[in-house]
Structures are given as C-alpha cells and as structure tokens.
Chain A
Amino acid sequence: MTELVEPVAPADRAGEGAPRWCDRCGAEAATGSHSACAAARVLEPPRYCVRCRRRMKVQVLPVGWSAACVEHGEIRG
C-alpha cells in the first residue's frame, strides 16, 4: 500500500496521468516490459519518482518505508 503524504500542488496535479517513469529502474514506464520490476517491488521500496524520474530519498523502517521526491513530495508504504 502506498499513500501520498504530501500531495503535490493542484497545478501539478492537472497534468497527472499514468506514471511516466518506472519507480524501480527509472526507465520510461511505457517502453518495454517492467514486469520484473513490478515483481521485485514486492520486496523493495520505490527508488525513482514516477512523475519526474528523480531518485528519491528512501528510508526503510522495520515496519514500512518512506520515499521523498524533492519536487513531488513524500509517499509511504
């Protein structure tokens, strides 16, 4: 379960659609298959922001994790 903790500004949300970037490998989500990434993500937190491809600051905790993009806020799982 992933939740957006710090929602992005409404102006940014207007352009929000399907994730543009894979949150595991950072490649374009629409290019190629990311099924291996999806499978790996069961046991990994996200590393790339799906909206801008920036590497996120990720803190894994004994229970849960947080991942912060400097532009698009923090998500938690």
Chain B
Amino acid sequence: MPDILDQARTQVLGNGVGLDEAGVLAVLSLPDEHLPAALQLAHEVRMRWCGPEVEVEGIVSLKTGGCPEDCHFCSQSGLFSSPVRSVWLDIPSLVEAAKQTAKTGATEFCIVAAVRGPDARLMKQMREGVAAIKAEVDIQVAASLGMLTQEQVDELVDMGVHRYNHNLETCRSYFPNVVTTHSWEERWETLRMVRESGMEVCCGGILGLGETVEQRAEFAAQLAELDPHEVPLNFLNPRPGTPLGDRPVVEGKDALRAIAAFRLAMPRTILRYAGGREITLGDLGTRDGLLGGINAVIVGNYLTTLGRPATDDLKLLDDLKMPVKALSATL
C-alpha cells in the first residue's frame, strides 16, 4: 500500500481531515495498479463522513449564449464562433423544467444564465421564476448567474435561493490561461459574499483544460480552503468553435484518480458528477466514480449538451443500493 493511502486512511478516514496539496498530488500521481485502492478508500471516506445518500439535481439554462466573457471551454461565449445562439427560457417553460426534474426524484434544481453577472432584466426573471417554481414544485432552487454584487446576493437570499453555484473552474495559477475577461479573485469575491449571506456555496470546476497534474492538486487544495458545501466536478467536453475545442478528453483513469483525490481533500463535501462524464468515463466509469467518492449527480441534460437519461442514473443508484437523498433531508 502506498504511503499516501496509509496516511489518508488515518488522517482522512479516521479523523476527517482532508489531504493537503502535496497529499492530493501524491494521489493524483499513483500508478494504475493502486487506483482501485485509492477509489476504495475514497468511497469509505464518503460513506463515513457523508453517508450513503446521493443528492440528485437537474439544471436548466435560463439564458443561453451571447455571454460577453471568454471562458475558453464555453460554447456560450459570444466571442467565439460557436454555433450556440442566444435564447431565453420563458417562465412557464422554466416551471415545467422544474416539474420534470422533480419527477426524477431530484431535490435540487439549478437555474443557470450565461452572463458575466445578472442585470435588472435577469434578476426580474429570476424573481418571477423562483416564485413560480416555489408555488408549484416541491424542490430546492439553486442559481448560477455569474459574478454578483452584494445587493444581488441579498436579493437572491430574499427570493429563497438556497445555494449559489460559482465555479472557480481551475486553479489560481492556470486561470489566466482559461479566462482573460475577469480574474480568479473576482470569482473568489462573489463566493465570499455568498458564504457570508448564508446561502450554501457550490463551487467546482473543469478538469482537462490543459492544467498540469500539479495544478490539479493546487485546485483541489484551493477548493478545500474555500470549503464549499458542494463541488461539481466537470470533465472537459471540447466544444466546436471554442479555443479548447480540439483538446483531448481526460483519460478515464485520470478522471477516477481525480475523483478519489478530490474526495480525500474534502471528506465532507457534496462531490457531484457534472458535465463530461459521459464521454470521459462512460457507463462503467460512472459506476466506478460513484464507488470512489462521488455522492451527487446531475441527472438528465446539461445546459447546451445532453446527458444520460435520468432513469439510467437512477437505476444505477438502485443497483448500488445508494438511496436518493430525500427533500426532507435537505430542508
């Protein structure tokens, strides 16, 4: 057994203290033959510090495309020659999407907009949309609207948005290679305000942007420092027309190593499968990740791409005897 896994067994499983950056790097650098042991340990950590339940979430794009920012992975940037056009979702369709999500057993519904930050029109749409959903659908509402002002944070709290997603996307040292229209620190500032407001913080990122293994470890350590309630883990799905459109997808074993390492860095967080798992891991890898530290999934489609049918994921959870977290447990 590698030393780092012995150390993690005592420190993370035994005491609930996550690995530091050097420890995460050691896990990310494990040879293939030790990957099953790393996943097994990460699973034990998840079961001990989070329990067997899996949080299920659906997401929807309220405002698609036409974004002024230049996040190099994103097909919704208006600065790239992506085929994605700008479109707004109306309130009745938003409520219907929430209903469809709730029918899957999901307890979370995240409303997302491709913007630098919300303007008055978007905040009005959010206020009306969240109110309409709360009146008709039994589900928790989260939001992801880019960078916020303190006033907007307060307004979202007032609407009853219980969790706010704002991904750092990658580590601080690599961020300027991925985004040039705003800084990592600006994102951090929004996260600070969200935390202080009492909303739950959801913050993760995307692996496979061209970062090194060392930078992947740096990212895990920076997320651990933030200590978010939830960490969505995406794997790059290269989008046509974007600067990262020709990048290779993350190797399945590297993705699984990252899942184990991020769990060992953050034993108590909700670690969620987000976009890209279908092409990076496939069916078998999805199962391995759920047995290697993942305890939440986005079901159904994503913002501009499609996911596995929700029924496939729910059947997998049933096969693995992992109960879906009930709404009452989240309130």
Contact = CB atoms under 8 A, between A and B. Distances in A.
Nearest to B309: A63
B305 A58 contact: no
Nearest to A37: B240
Contacts of A26: 83
Contact of A60 (B61, B83, B96, B101): B61
B137 to A, nearest CB: 12
A64 B61 CA distance: 13
A25 B301 contact: no
A6 B183 CA distance: 44
Contacts of B303: 60
Given A43-B307, A44-B305, A44-B306, A59 B64 contact: yes
B89 interface: yes
Contact of A63 (B87, B278, B310): B310
Interface residues of A, number: 20
Contacts of A43: 278-279, 305-307
Q: Chain A: interface secondary structure?
A: loop
B178 interface: no
A55 B85 contact: yes
B304 interface: yes
Nearest to A45: B306
B97 interface: yes
A60 B301 contact: yes
Interface string A19-51: 000001110000000000000001111011000
Contacts of B86: 57
A3 B97 CA distance: 19
A56 interface: yes
A64 B299 CA distance: 12
B249 to A, nearest CB: 12
B198 to A, nearest CB: 27
A56 B85 CA distance: 7
A62 interface: yes
B278 A59 contact: no
B83 A62 contact: no
Interface in A46-77: 47-48, 55-65
Interface of B: 58-61, 64, 83-87, 89, 93, 96-97, 100-101, 104, 240, 278-279, 299-307, 310
24 contacts: A24-B240, A25-B240, A43-B278, A45-B305, A47-B83, A48-B83, A57-B86, A57-B87, A58-B85, A58-B87, A59-B61, A59-B87, A59-B89, A60-B302, A61-B96, A61-B100, A62-B58, A62-B60, A62-B100, A62-B310, A63-B97, A63-B100, A63-B310, A65-B306
Interface of A: 24-26, 42-45, 47-48, 55-65
Q: Which 10 A-B pairs have the closest CB atoms?
A: A47-B83, A62-B300, A62-B58, A63-B100, A57-B87, A43-B306, A62-B101, A60-B301, A61-B97, A57-B85
